[in-house]
Structure 1
Amino acid sequence: MKRIVLTGGGTAGHVTPNLALIPHLDKLGFDVHYIGSYNGIEKTLIEDKGIPYHGISSGKLRRYKDLKNLSDPFRVIKGAGQATKLIRKLKPDIVFSKGGFVTVPVILGAKLNRVPSIIHESDMTPGLANKISIPFATKVCTTFAETLQHLPENKAVLTGTPIREDILQGDKEKGLQLCKFNKDKPVLLMTGGSLGAVRINDVLREALDGILKKYQLVHLCGKNNLKKELEDISGYKQFEYVSDEMSDILAISDVVISRSGANIISELLALKKPHVLIPLPASASRGDQILNAASFEKHGYSYVLDEENMTPKTILKAVDTVYEKRTEYINHMNHSKSSNGISNILNLIDELVNK
């Protein structure tokens, strides 16, 4: 039986594409294992799917000054040793990495064991973990054509992002029941990812009275960001995070407010959901979300609102504009040439395994 090791972690965005691939890998007869951090979100998400999970030591790769920068390299070195032993023991035919700091030791371990590896880069430019890993990888998949110029020509492959099939099969009735909503008002969804988006949460709640006059709001606010005093407000439903229910919530959503991470915007494009993107500002990121959002805005897929200009008034204006022009945004997305990256990635995996 063919065996594959998947890796990726730190946020749900580094796990979701792997979850999209797993059912297809099962059908192709792969024995799937996962290497992640000891207690990252990837552990819960993967173990819930019944996939053998192997935890290793990991250290975050920071671009800013922090005392942990002194100790974390030793955690990475320890993780590399653990990953190398694991891969030697598991004897996989191939390793597939979605990125995140935990993947660096795994890609290095694959190289030391002469196991071919594939990295997937979702954003416009490679993240730090992937930048470090690229020299040791066999191939690098990309979502955006623009990313190819930042990669070694002999390794880069434009594949698109793997999108979960279940996300495309939501049930509107289940979504309405889950949120206790009706069909009288359009539904606005705000998703800040598994870690939430505190600044957007705060402004959205400031604008809540104005929003609820026109819309019903599903608010995915992130871990520890629930507000008990808002629980009983009609037309407002808050969750820390949802997984299996996400497809049903997206099915009822008329407009989505989101950060501009590559995974969520790829899903919004596949679903043809009108949306407002509020990218992480350059002061809080390496600027990848700004580039992602600019590309989508250029193609007419998105309304982009900079966080620096976000107020209750501007966020409501953005939502109203997108809702009123939703047909125009949907038409632009219908002309997109982007496709689900699953088949492209599976073909590449097959090619390297057989080679």
Structure 2
Amino acid sequence: MKKLVLTGGGSAGHVTPHLALIPKLKKMGWDLHYIGSVDGIEKSLIEEGTNVPYYGISSGKLRRYFDLKNIKDPFKVAAGVAQAYLKLGKIKPDAVFSKGGFVAVPVVIAAWLRKIPVYIHESDITPGLANKISSKFASKIFVTFDEAKKHFAAGQAIVTGSPIRDELLQGSNEKGLSFLGFRSHLPVLTIMGGSLGARKINEAVRESLPELLRSYQIVHICGKGNLDQNLNHTEGYRQFEYIQKELPDVVAATDFVISRAGSNSIFEWLTLKIPMLLIPLTRAASRGDQILNAQSFEKQGFCHVLYEEDLTKETLLQSLKQLKADKDNMQRNMESFKASDSVDLILRTITSGK
């Protein structure tokens, strides 16, 4: 039985591709193990969503800007390398697959030190700092966008697209409506601000609720600690910190979505042919990767984009009005998109050891 160590964390986007790969890897007979941070979001997602053994290691954030934490975090990374090195020595995997995030860097370096092949997946058009560092130690890098290849060594990157979880394609509209307590008289609008939530999106949505509820039934996935208890009994409005088990049914019942522009999420909406209003993270809050993702999708006619700097109650309502009007045209554009079998291509490459 071949062994594979999975790693990545810091956000749900660094974990969901693993959730797409794990069921098929298990069917192929792989013995799987996961190395992540001690208390990151990846820990709960893996422990609650899979039966894969999980091991926590020390991790420090790698920053491009000055911060006093930069003084101690390199020591955390070094400790993480030592811990991962020992853990890999016990597991003795045939390969390591990294989805990125700062916790992945110590694991990738430790695997390289042990001469274990490393495979990386980069979701965005431009790689994050963690994957830039990790790419120096990787055998192959899987990329979602063709534009990303230029950021890596010649011949190192393979365009695979984004791994999509099979269960998302198997949801039931009826079960989704039943779980939400909704009827079929109004379209369902799902709002997802990312795994940690999005304060400005949450505020704009709640400020607009009276107007929104005239046209939509609303599923608001608002992030941990962001529930508004005063809205618990509002008819046509359901709020959750996070949805995992019931998510396939909820998206099956979804007619429109407001979302951040993380690559994994938007490719899932594209695969499901759900019209999107994307509100990417600002450059002040990120390296600008979500803006590039959103612009790429808008250029192909898969979405509308509302920049967070322009987000108000009025612009939100107007953007949704335009989205609703463009629904048919947007779905035709989505139908023309020919997705590659990302999961199969990644698995074939890892299995072949090339």
Structure 2 length normalisation: TM-score? Answer: 0.98
Secondary structure of the residue aligned to 2:33 is strand
The residue number in structure 2 matching 1:204 is 205
More off after superposition, 17-26 vs 146-155: 146-155
Contact 1:15/1:42 (8 A) holds in 2: yes
The residue number in structure 1 matching 2:172 is 171
Contact 1:255/1:273 (8 A) holds in 2: yes
Q: Tell me the CA shift for residue 105 of structure 1.
A: 0.3
Q: Tell me the CA shift for residue 179 of structure 1.
A: 1.3
Secondary structure of the residue aligned to 1:50 is coil
CA distance in 1, matches of 2:267, 2:246: 18
CA distance in 2, matches of 1:319, 1:168: 25
CA distance in 2, matches of 1:327, 1:334: 11
Instruction: Kindly tell me the number of residue pairs found equivalent between the two proteins.
Output: 353
The residue number in structure 1 matching 2:337 is 336
The residue number in structure 2 matching 1:114 is 115
The residue number in structure 1 matching 2:134 is 133
Q: Tell me the CA shift for residue 59 of structure 1.
A: 0.7
Contact 1:254/1:323 (8 A) holds in 2: no
Q: Tell me the CA shift for residue 32 of structure 1.
A: 0.3
* Paired AA for residue 227 in structure 2: L
CA distance in 2, matches of 1:59, 1:297: 35
Q: Tell me the CA shift for residue 64 of structure 1.
A: 3.0
CA distance in 2, matches of 1:152, 1:347: 21
Q: Tell me the CA shift for residue 348 of structure 1.
A: 0.7
Structure 1: state its 5+ residue gaps: none
Q: Tell me the CA shift for residue 65 of structure 1.
A: 2.8
* Paired AA for residue 228 in structure 1: Q
CA distance in 1, matches of 2:247, 2:340: 20
* Paired AA for residue 22 in structure 2: I
The residue number in structure 1 matching 2:14 is 14
The residue number in structure 1 matching 2:246 is 245
* Paired AA for residue 90 in structure 1: I
Cα offsets for 1:214-238 (capped at 9, x unmatched): 1111000001000000111000000
Q: Tell me the CA shift for residue 160 of structure 1.
A: 1.0
The residue number in structure 2 matching 1:254 is 255
* Paired AA for residue 153 in structure 2: P
Identity rate, percent: 54
The answer to whether residue 34 in structure 2 is matched with residue 28 in structure 1 is no
CA distance in 1, matches of 2:47, 2:189: 31
Structure 2: state its 5+ residue gaps: none
Cα offsets for 1:108-136 (capped at 9, x unmatched): 01100000010000001100100111101
CA distance in 1, matches of 2:344, 2:315: 40
The residue number in structure 2 matching 1:263 is 264
Secondary structure of the residue aligned to 1:332 is helix
Secondary structure of the residue aligned to 1:129 is helix
Contact 1:191/1:259 (8 A) holds in 2: yes
Structure 1 length normalisation: TM-score? Answer: 0.98
CA distance in 2, matches of 1:218, 1:64: 37
The residue number in structure 2 matching 1:216 is 217
Alignment of 1:85-96 (within 5 A): 85-96=86-97
Secondary structure of the residue aligned to 1:249 is helix
* Paired AA for residue 6 in structure 1: L
CA distance in 2, matches of 1:338, 1:125: 20
Q: Tell me the CA shift for residue 154 of structure 1.
A: 2.4
Contact 1:256/1:275 (8 A) holds in 2: yes
Cα offsets for 1:175-230 (capped at 9, x unmatched): 11221111111111000121001110011111111101111110000010000001
Q: Tell me the CA shift for residue 95 of structure 1.
A: 0.4
Q: Tell me the CA shift for residue 322 of structure 1.
A: 1.3
